[in-house]
Amino acid sequence: MEWFKVVAFVVCVLPTAHCASDSIAWCYHLPSCNDTTWPSIPPHYCSGSRQSPIDIVSASATPNDKLTEFTFFKYDNTSAMTSIENTGDTVKVTLSGVKISGGDLSEQYDSLQFHLHWGNGSSVPGSEHTVDGKRYPMELHIVNSKSSYNGNTSLAVKDSTGLAALGFFIEVMPGNSTGQPQSWRNLTSYLANVTQKGQKVSIAAGFSLDDLLVGVDRTKYYRYLGSLTTPACNEAVVWTVFKEPIKVSKDLIDLFSTTLHFNDSMSPLMTNVYRSLQPAQKVWTQSIKASASTTCFSLGLLLLSLTLGWSWS
Ligand SMILES: *[C@@H]1O[C@H](CO)[C@@H](O)[C@H](O)[C@H]1NC(C)=O
Ligand SMILES: *[C@@H]1O[C@H](CO)[C@@H](O)[C@H](O)[C@H]1NC(C)=O
Ligand SMILES: *[C@@H]1O[C@H](CO)[C@@H](O)[C@H](O)[C@H]1NC(C)=O
Ligand SMILES: *[C@@H]1O[C@H](CO)[C@@H](O)[C@H](O)[C@H]1NC(C)=O
Ligand SMILES: *[C@@H]1O[C@H](CO)[C@@H](O)[C@H](O)[C@H]1NC(C)=O
Ligand SMILES: *[C@@H]1O[C@H](CO)[C@@H](O)[C@H](O)[C@H]1NC(C)=O
Ligand SMILES: *[C@@H]1O[C@H](CO)[C@@H](O)[C@H](O)[C@H]1NC(C)=O
Ligand SMILES: *[C@@H]1O[C@H](CO)[C@@H](O)[C@H](O)[C@H]1NC(C)=O
Ligand SMILES: [Zn+2]
Protein backbone atom coordinates (compact mmCIF):
# COMPACT_ATOMS: atom_id res chain seq x y z
CA MET A 1 0.00 0.00 0.00
CA GLU A 2 2.90 2.34 -0.45
CA TRP A 3 1.95 4.62 -3.34
CA PHE A 4 3.99 7.36 -1.75
CA LYS A 5 7.57 7.82 -2.65
CA VAL A 6 10.69 7.35 -0.63
CA VAL A 7 13.39 8.88 -2.73
CA ALA A 8 16.44 9.26 -0.61
CA PHE A 9 19.51 11.10 -1.81
CA VAL A 10 18.16 11.81 -5.25
CA VAL A 11 19.89 14.72 -6.88
CA CYS A 12 17.23 17.05 -8.08
CA VAL A 13 17.42 18.16 -11.65
CA LEU A 14 14.04 19.87 -11.78
CA PRO A 15 12.82 20.84 -8.33
CA THR A 16 9.29 21.53 -9.34
CA ALA A 17 6.22 20.15 -8.03
CA HIS A 18 7.70 16.76 -7.88
CA CYS A 19 11.26 16.65 -7.00
CA ALA A 20 13.01 17.82 -3.94
CA SER A 21 16.62 17.33 -3.12
CA ASP A 22 17.16 14.63 -0.50
CA SER A 23 13.43 14.19 -0.57
CA ILE A 24 11.44 12.18 1.89
CA ALA A 25 8.08 10.58 1.37
CA TRP A 26 5.36 13.01 0.48
CA CYS A 27 2.06 12.57 -1.31
CA TYR A 28 -1.36 14.09 -1.83
CA HIS A 29 -3.66 11.20 -1.12
CA LEU A 30 -2.65 9.37 2.07
CA PRO A 31 -2.98 10.74 5.60
CA SER A 32 0.53 9.46 6.35
CA CYS A 33 2.17 11.71 3.75
CA ASN A 34 -0.39 14.30 2.59
CA ASP A 35 0.25 18.02 2.83
CA THR A 36 -0.51 18.23 6.53
CA THR A 37 2.74 16.28 7.07
CA TRP A 38 4.93 18.35 4.72
CA PRO A 39 5.98 20.96 7.31
CA SER A 40 7.82 18.23 9.23
CA ILE A 41 9.98 17.30 6.23
CA PRO A 42 13.55 18.62 6.62
CA PRO A 43 14.69 21.31 5.97
CA HIS A 44 11.19 22.44 6.95
CA TYR A 45 10.75 25.01 4.19
CA CYS A 46 7.08 23.94 3.96
CA SER A 47 6.50 25.65 7.33
CA GLY A 48 8.07 28.90 6.10
CA SER A 49 6.54 32.36 5.95
CA ARG A 50 5.99 32.86 2.17
CA GLN A 51 4.34 29.61 1.18
CA SER A 52 2.20 28.89 -1.88
CA PRO A 53 -0.55 28.55 -2.98
CA ILE A 54 -2.69 31.35 -1.58
CA ASP A 55 -6.16 32.75 -1.98
CA ILE A 56 -5.84 35.95 -4.01
CA VAL A 57 -8.21 38.66 -2.76
CA SER A 58 -8.71 40.74 -5.87
CA ALA A 59 -9.86 43.87 -4.01
CA SER A 60 -6.70 43.82 -1.86
CA ALA A 61 -4.24 43.59 -4.77
CA THR A 62 -1.96 46.66 -4.76
CA PRO A 63 -1.60 48.53 -8.07
CA ASN A 64 1.94 48.35 -9.48
CA ASP A 65 2.94 50.16 -12.67
CA LYS A 66 6.05 48.01 -13.04
CA LEU A 67 3.98 44.94 -13.95
CA THR A 68 4.46 45.37 -17.65
CA GLU A 69 3.95 42.88 -20.45
CA PHE A 70 6.04 39.75 -20.72
CA THR A 71 7.96 38.73 -23.78
CA PHE A 72 7.30 35.06 -24.54
CA PHE A 73 10.27 33.88 -26.57
CA LYS A 74 9.50 30.99 -28.98
CA TYR A 75 6.14 30.23 -27.38
CA ASP A 76 4.91 29.84 -30.96
CA ASN A 77 7.38 27.03 -31.67
CA THR A 78 5.41 23.84 -32.40
CA SER A 79 8.44 21.71 -31.48
CA ALA A 80 9.18 23.21 -28.04
CA MET A 81 7.33 20.50 -26.09
CA THR A 82 9.67 17.56 -26.20
CA SER A 83 8.28 14.91 -23.83
CA ILE A 84 5.48 14.16 -21.38
CA GLU A 85 5.87 12.16 -18.19
CA ASN A 86 3.81 10.78 -15.31
CA THR A 87 5.89 11.73 -12.25
CA GLY A 88 3.60 10.04 -9.75
CA ASP A 89 2.34 13.44 -8.57
CA THR A 90 1.41 15.19 -11.81
CA VAL A 91 1.90 15.04 -15.55
CA LYS A 92 4.90 17.07 -16.66
CA VAL A 93 5.86 18.34 -20.11
CA THR A 94 9.53 19.16 -20.74
CA LEU A 95 10.23 22.30 -22.75
CA SER A 96 13.14 23.23 -24.97
CA GLY A 97 14.36 26.61 -26.23
CA VAL A 98 11.59 28.73 -24.71
CA LYS A 99 12.13 31.75 -22.44
CA ILE A 100 10.34 34.67 -20.84
CA SER A 101 11.37 38.20 -19.88
CA GLY A 102 9.61 41.42 -18.88
CA GLY A 103 6.75 41.44 -16.37
CA ASP A 104 9.07 43.12 -13.82
CA LEU A 105 11.31 40.05 -13.65
CA SER A 106 14.90 40.97 -12.89
CA GLU A 107 16.32 39.11 -15.89
CA GLN A 108 15.45 36.55 -18.56
CA TYR A 109 14.20 33.15 -17.35
CA ASP A 110 14.28 29.81 -19.22
CA SER A 111 10.93 27.99 -19.41
CA LEU A 112 11.91 24.48 -18.33
CA GLN A 113 8.66 22.56 -17.98
CA PHE A 114 4.97 22.79 -17.30
CA HIS A 115 2.74 20.54 -15.26
CA LEU A 116 -0.83 20.60 -14.00
CA HIS A 117 -2.87 20.42 -10.82
CA TRP A 118 -6.45 19.15 -10.71
CA GLY A 119 -9.20 17.76 -8.51
CA ASN A 120 -11.56 15.01 -9.60
CA GLY A 121 -12.96 15.84 -13.00
CA SER A 122 -14.53 19.14 -13.88
CA SER A 123 -17.01 18.91 -10.97
CA VAL A 124 -14.42 18.71 -8.16
CA PRO A 125 -12.11 21.67 -8.76
CA GLY A 126 -8.39 21.37 -8.03
CA SER A 127 -6.55 24.56 -8.91
CA GLU A 128 -3.90 25.51 -6.35
CA HIS A 129 -4.51 29.26 -6.22
CA THR A 130 -7.99 30.55 -5.66
CA VAL A 131 -9.33 34.03 -6.43
CA ASP A 132 -11.79 35.51 -3.95
CA GLY A 133 -12.34 31.97 -2.72
CA LYS A 134 -13.09 30.54 -6.17
CA ARG A 135 -11.23 27.33 -7.05
CA TYR A 136 -10.99 26.50 -10.75
CA PRO A 137 -11.10 22.93 -12.17
CA MET A 138 -7.36 22.88 -13.01
CA GLU A 139 -4.22 25.02 -12.94
CA LEU A 140 -1.26 24.89 -15.32
CA HIS A 141 2.19 25.91 -14.04
CA ILE A 142 5.02 26.90 -16.34
CA VAL A 143 8.26 26.67 -14.34
CA ASN A 144 10.99 29.12 -15.35
CA SER A 145 14.53 29.41 -13.97
CA LYS A 146 16.86 32.42 -14.18
CA SER A 147 18.79 32.09 -17.44
CA SER A 148 21.99 33.05 -15.60
CA TYR A 149 21.81 29.71 -13.75
CA ASN A 150 21.82 27.92 -17.10
CA GLY A 151 19.20 25.36 -16.09
CA ASN A 152 20.86 24.53 -12.75
CA THR A 153 17.79 24.51 -10.53
CA SER A 154 19.78 23.56 -7.43
CA LEU A 155 21.21 27.06 -7.66
CA ALA A 156 17.86 28.64 -8.57
CA VAL A 157 16.07 27.32 -5.48
CA LYS A 158 18.67 28.97 -3.25
CA ASP A 159 17.80 32.39 -4.72
CA SER A 160 14.63 34.07 -3.40
CA THR A 161 13.72 34.99 -7.00
CA GLY A 162 15.52 32.12 -8.74
CA LEU A 163 12.34 30.67 -10.20
CA ALA A 164 9.39 32.36 -11.91
CA ALA A 165 6.17 30.36 -12.08
CA LEU A 166 3.36 31.26 -14.46
CA GLY A 167 -0.02 30.02 -13.27
CA PHE A 168 -2.95 29.64 -15.65
CA PHE A 169 -6.41 28.62 -14.47
CA ILE A 170 -8.40 26.18 -16.58
CA GLU A 171 -12.17 26.27 -16.64
CA VAL A 172 -14.84 24.35 -18.50
CA MET A 173 -15.61 25.73 -21.94
CA PRO A 174 -19.27 26.82 -22.09
CA GLY A 175 -21.68 24.81 -24.20
CA ASN A 176 -21.49 21.12 -25.00
CA SER A 177 -18.34 21.14 -27.07
CA THR A 178 -15.99 18.17 -26.91
CA GLY A 179 -12.34 17.81 -27.86
CA GLN A 180 -11.70 21.56 -27.71
CA PRO A 181 -9.45 23.39 -28.18
CA GLN A 182 -7.56 21.26 -30.70
CA SER A 183 -4.25 21.98 -28.92
CA TRP A 184 -5.62 20.46 -25.70
CA ARG A 185 -6.93 17.47 -27.64
CA ASN A 186 -3.39 17.06 -28.97
CA LEU A 187 -1.88 17.31 -25.49
CA THR A 188 -4.36 15.03 -23.74
CA SER A 189 -4.00 12.39 -26.47
CA TYR A 190 -0.71 11.51 -24.78
CA LEU A 191 -2.24 10.83 -21.35
CA ALA A 192 -3.06 7.25 -22.35
CA ASN A 193 0.67 6.71 -22.98
CA VAL A 194 1.68 7.75 -19.44
CA THR A 195 -0.96 6.15 -17.23
CA GLN A 196 1.65 4.83 -14.77
CA LYS A 197 4.32 6.54 -12.71
CA GLY A 198 7.64 6.90 -14.50
CA GLN A 199 6.23 6.48 -18.00
CA LYS A 200 7.51 9.08 -20.44
CA VAL A 201 6.98 9.52 -24.20
CA SER A 202 8.09 12.01 -26.82
CA ILE A 203 5.66 14.62 -28.09
CA ALA A 204 5.42 15.03 -31.85
CA ALA A 205 5.60 18.52 -33.31
CA GLY A 206 2.31 20.21 -34.14
CA PHE A 207 1.16 22.43 -31.27
CA SER A 208 2.78 25.25 -29.36
CA LEU A 209 2.59 26.85 -25.91
CA ASP A 210 0.71 29.76 -27.51
CA ASP A 211 -1.85 27.23 -28.77
CA LEU A 212 -2.32 25.83 -25.23
CA LEU A 213 -2.61 29.31 -23.67
CA VAL A 214 -5.33 30.27 -26.15
CA GLY A 215 -7.75 33.04 -25.25
CA VAL A 216 -5.84 34.40 -22.24
CA ASP A 217 -4.92 38.09 -22.10
CA ARG A 218 -1.39 37.67 -20.80
CA THR A 219 -1.08 41.33 -19.84
CA LYS A 220 -3.47 40.87 -16.89
CA TYR A 221 -2.06 39.07 -13.89
CA TYR A 222 -1.44 38.96 -10.14
CA ARG A 223 2.08 38.95 -8.71
CA TYR A 224 3.41 37.80 -5.35
CA LEU A 225 6.50 36.20 -3.83
CA GLY A 226 5.99 32.60 -2.73
CA SER A 227 7.28 29.05 -2.87
CA LEU A 228 7.21 25.75 -4.67
CA THR A 229 3.88 24.09 -3.86
CA THR A 230 5.44 20.66 -3.25
CA PRO A 231 8.28 19.60 -0.95
CA ALA A 232 10.79 20.96 -0.32
CA CYS A 233 8.57 24.09 -0.74
CA ASN A 234 11.61 26.29 -1.38
CA GLU A 235 10.80 29.99 -1.02
CA ALA A 236 12.35 30.86 -4.36
CA VAL A 237 9.40 31.63 -6.59
CA VAL A 238 8.17 34.84 -8.18
CA TRP A 239 4.54 33.95 -8.82
CA THR A 240 2.49 35.28 -11.73
CA VAL A 241 -1.13 34.16 -11.77
CA PHE A 242 -3.05 35.20 -14.87
CA LYS A 243 -6.57 36.51 -14.33
CA GLU A 244 -8.26 34.99 -17.37
CA PRO A 245 -8.66 31.20 -17.50
CA ILE A 246 -7.95 28.90 -20.42
CA LYS A 247 -11.23 27.36 -21.55
CA VAL A 248 -11.07 23.61 -22.20
CA SER A 249 -13.99 21.29 -22.92
CA LYS A 250 -15.23 19.12 -20.04
CA ASP A 251 -14.36 15.79 -21.66
CA LEU A 252 -10.68 16.77 -21.91
CA ILE A 253 -10.53 18.08 -18.32
CA ASP A 254 -12.08 14.80 -17.13
CA LEU A 255 -9.33 12.78 -18.87
CA PHE A 256 -6.68 13.76 -16.30
CA SER A 257 -8.50 12.27 -13.31
CA THR A 258 -9.73 9.20 -15.21
CA THR A 259 -6.55 8.18 -17.07
CA LEU A 260 -3.51 8.76 -14.86
CA HIS A 261 -2.55 6.66 -11.83
CA PHE A 262 -0.35 7.61 -8.86
CA ASN A 263 1.75 4.50 -9.39
CA ASP A 264 1.00 1.28 -11.30
CA SER A 265 -2.33 0.42 -12.92
CA MET A 266 -3.60 -1.10 -9.65
CA SER A 267 -2.94 2.10 -7.68
CA PRO A 268 -5.59 4.81 -7.29
CA LEU A 269 -6.34 7.24 -10.09
CA MET A 270 -4.42 10.50 -9.79
CA THR A 271 -6.94 12.91 -8.26
CA ASN A 272 -6.83 15.98 -5.99
CA VAL A 273 -3.22 16.79 -6.80
CA TYR A 274 -3.02 20.24 -5.23
CA ARG A 275 -1.73 21.71 -2.00
CA SER A 276 -4.13 23.37 0.42
CA LEU A 277 -4.11 27.15 0.83
CA GLN A 278 -1.36 28.86 2.78
CA PRO A 279 -1.44 32.17 4.70
CA ALA A 280 -2.04 35.35 2.68
CA GLN A 281 0.81 37.29 1.08
CA LYS A 282 0.99 40.78 -0.35
CA VAL A 283 -0.30 40.65 -3.93
CA TRP A 284 0.25 43.19 -6.69
CA THR A 285 -1.53 43.69 -10.00
CA GLN A 286 -1.52 46.13 -12.90
CA SER A 287 -2.61 49.65 -12.12
CA ILE A 288 -6.07 50.48 -13.46
CA LYS A 289 -4.66 53.89 -14.52
CA ALA A 290 -4.08 52.86 -18.12
CA SER A 291 -7.68 51.96 -18.79
CA ALA A 292 -8.89 54.87 -16.65
CA SER A 293 -6.92 57.36 -18.73
CA THR A 294 -8.22 55.71 -21.89
CA THR A 295 -11.73 56.17 -20.52
CA CYS A 296 -10.99 59.82 -19.66
CA PHE A 297 -9.56 60.36 -23.13
CA SER A 298 -12.61 58.75 -24.75
CA LEU A 299 -14.95 60.78 -22.57
CA GLY A 300 -12.99 63.90 -23.43
CA LEU A 301 -13.27 63.12 -27.13
CA LEU A 302 -16.97 62.46 -26.74
CA LEU A 303 -17.50 65.81 -25.01
CA LEU A 304 -15.36 67.55 -27.62
CA SER A 305 -17.28 65.89 -30.42
CA LEU A 306 -20.58 66.87 -28.85
CA THR A 307 -19.31 70.42 -28.41
CA LEU A 308 -18.08 70.72 -31.97
CA GLY A 309 -20.94 68.77 -33.43
CA TRP A 310 -18.71 65.97 -34.80
CA SER A 311 -20.19 62.77 -35.98
CA TRP A 312 -18.56 59.34 -36.30
CA SER A 313 -20.71 58.30 -39.23
C1 LIG B 1 4.64 1.13 -7.41
O2 LIG B 1 4.25 -0.07 -7.98
C3 LIG B 1 5.33 -0.98 -8.15
C4 LIG B 1 4.82 -2.17 -8.93
O5 LIG B 1 3.68 -2.70 -8.30
C6 LIG B 1 5.86 -1.36 -6.77
O7 LIG B 1 6.95 -2.24 -6.92
C8 LIG B 1 6.33 -0.10 -6.06
O9 LIG B 1 6.72 -0.41 -4.77
C10 LIG B 1 5.22 0.93 -6.03
N11 LIG B 1 5.81 2.18 -5.56
C12 LIG B 1 5.25 2.91 -4.65
C13 LIG B 1 5.98 4.14 -4.28
O14 LIG B 1 4.19 2.63 -4.14
C1 LIG C 1 -4.49 14.64 5.36
O2 LIG C 1 -4.36 13.77 6.44
C3 LIG C 1 -4.94 14.25 7.63
C4 LIG C 1 -4.62 13.24 8.72
O5 LIG C 1 -3.24 13.16 8.87
C6 LIG C 1 -6.42 14.43 7.45
O7 LIG C 1 -6.99 14.97 8.62
C8 LIG C 1 -6.68 15.36 6.28
O9 LIG C 1 -8.06 15.42 5.99
C10 LIG C 1 -5.95 14.89 5.05
N11 LIG C 1 -6.08 15.87 4.01
C12 LIG C 1 -6.41 15.59 2.77
C13 LIG C 1 -6.46 16.71 1.82
O14 LIG C 1 -6.66 14.45 2.44
C1 LIG D 1 11.82 24.96 -32.09
O2 LIG D 1 12.27 24.21 -30.98
C3 LIG D 1 13.07 23.10 -31.35
C4 LIG D 1 13.38 22.35 -30.09
O5 LIG D 1 14.01 23.18 -29.14
C6 LIG D 1 14.34 23.61 -32.06
O7 LIG D 1 15.13 22.52 -32.46
C8 LIG D 1 13.95 24.44 -33.25
O9 LIG D 1 15.09 25.01 -33.82
C10 LIG D 1 13.00 25.55 -32.84
N11 LIG D 1 12.49 26.22 -34.02
C12 LIG D 1 12.55 27.54 -34.15
C13 LIG D 1 11.97 28.09 -35.39
O14 LIG D 1 13.05 28.26 -33.31
C1 LIG E 1 -13.70 10.82 -8.19
O2 LIG E 1 -14.93 10.79 -8.85
C3 LIG E 1 -15.33 9.47 -9.19
C4 LIG E 1 -16.54 9.57 -10.09
O5 LIG E 1 -17.31 10.66 -9.78
C6 LIG E 1 -15.59 8.69 -7.91
O7 LIG E 1 -16.00 7.39 -8.23
C8 LIG E 1 -14.29 8.65 -7.11
O9 LIG E 1 -14.51 8.01 -5.86
C10 LIG E 1 -13.76 10.05 -6.87
N11 LIG E 1 -12.44 9.97 -6.30
C12 LIG E 1 -12.09 10.60 -5.18
C13 LIG E 1 -10.70 10.39 -4.70
O14 LIG E 1 -12.86 11.30 -4.56
C1 LIG F 1 24.74 23.26 -10.08
O2 LIG F 1 25.68 24.14 -9.56
C3 LIG F 1 26.36 23.64 -8.40
C4 LIG F 1 27.21 24.76 -7.83
O5 LIG F 1 27.96 25.36 -8.85
C6 LIG F 1 27.16 22.43 -8.80
O7 LIG F 1 27.82 21.88 -7.67
C8 LIG F 1 26.22 21.37 -9.36
O9 LIG F 1 26.94 20.27 -9.85
C10 LIG F 1 25.40 21.97 -10.49
N11 LIG F 1 24.38 21.00 -10.86
C12 LIG F 1 24.16 20.65 -12.11
C13 LIG F 1 23.06 19.69 -12.35
O14 LIG F 1 24.82 21.10 -13.03
C1 LIG G 1 -26.27 20.67 -24.64
O2 LIG G 1 -26.79 19.38 -24.80
C3 LIG G 1 -28.08 19.25 -24.25
C4 LIG G 1 -28.47 17.77 -24.32
O5 LIG G 1 -27.81 17.10 -25.35
C6 LIG G 1 -29.04 20.13 -25.03
O7 LIG G 1 -30.34 20.02 -24.49
C8 LIG G 1 -28.58 21.56 -24.90
O9 LIG G 1 -29.37 22.42 -25.70
C10 LIG G 1 -27.12 21.70 -25.35
N11 LIG G 1 -26.64 23.04 -25.04
C12 LIG G 1 -25.93 23.76 -25.88
C13 LIG G 1 -25.50 25.10 -25.41
O14 LIG G 1 -25.59 23.35 -26.98
C1 LIG H 1 -2.50 19.20 -33.47
O2 LIG H 1 -1.48 18.30 -33.88
C3 LIG H 1 -1.45 18.06 -35.27
C4 LIG H 1 -0.33 17.10 -35.56
O5 LIG H 1 -0.46 15.98 -34.76
C6 LIG H 1 -1.24 19.34 -36.03
O7 LIG H 1 -1.32 19.08 -37.42
C8 LIG H 1 -2.27 20.36 -35.64
O9 LIG H 1 -1.97 21.61 -36.25
C10 LIG H 1 -2.30 20.55 -34.16
N11 LIG H 1 -3.34 21.52 -33.91
C12 LIG H 1 -3.30 22.40 -32.93
C13 LIG H 1 -4.28 23.49 -32.94
O14 LIG H 1 -2.50 22.35 -32.03
C1 LIG I 1 0.70 6.21 -27.52
O2 LIG I 1 -0.16 5.08 -27.45
C3 LIG I 1 -0.78 4.79 -28.70
C4 LIG I 1 -1.82 3.72 -28.46
O5 LIG I 1 -1.28 2.68 -27.76
C6 LIG I 1 0.28 4.38 -29.70
O7 LIG I 1 -0.31 4.13 -30.94
C8 LIG I 1 1.25 5.54 -29.85
O9 LIG I 1 2.31 5.15 -30.70
C10 LIG I 1 1.82 5.96 -28.50
N11 LIG I 1 2.58 7.17 -28.69
C12 LIG I 1 3.80 7.34 -28.22
C13 LIG I 1 4.44 8.65 -28.51
O14 LIG I 1 4.38 6.48 -27.57
ZN1 LIG J 1 2.68 23.27 -9.77
CA distance 204 to 201: 10
The answer, yes or no, to whether any atom of ligand 6 lies below 6 A from the CB of 174, is no
Distance of CA 171 to the CA centre of its chain: 13
pLDDT tens per residue across span 208-266:
999 999 999 999 999 999 999 999 999 999 999 999 999 999 999 999 999 999 999 99
What's the whole-number mean pLDDT along residues 132-143? 98
pLDDT tens per residue across span 155-183:
999 999 999 999 999 999 999 999 999 99
Check pLDDT > 80 for residue 128.
Answer: yes
The answer, yes or no, to whether any atom of ligand 7 lies below 6 A from the CB of 182, is yes
- Residue 179 CB burial class (10 angstroms; 0-12, 13-18, ≥19): middle
Nearest to 54 by CA among 284, 271, 263: 284
Residues with beta carbon inside 6 Å of ligand 2? 31, 34, 36
Atom of ligand 6 nearest to the CA of 175: 13
CATH number, domain 46-286 = 3.10.200.10
pLDDT at 16: 34
Atom of ligand 5 nearest to the CA of 11: 13
In this prediction the pTM is: 0.89
pLDDT at 289: 62
Mean pLDDT of the chain: 89
Portion of the chain with pLDDT greater than 70, in percent: 84
Exposure string of 258-281, with b = 16+ CB inside 10 Å and e = fewer, is: ebbbbbeeebeebbebbbebbeeb
The answer, yes or no, to whether any atom of ligand 1 lies below 6 A from the CB of 65, is no
Portion of the chain with pLDDT greater than 90, in percent: 83
Answer for the pair 107, 147: CB distance below 8 angstroms, yes or no. yes
Ligand nearest to the backbone CA of 157: 5
pLDDT tens per residue across span 53-95:
999 999 999 999 999 999 999 999 999 999 999 999 999 999 9
Residues with beta carbon inside 6 Å of ligand 3? 74, 77, 79-80, 96-97
Question: In the chain, what are the domain boundaries?
Answer: 46-286
Question: How many other β-carbons are positioned within 10 Å of the β-carbon of residue 48?
Answer: 15
Check pLDDT > 90 for residue 118.
Answer: yes
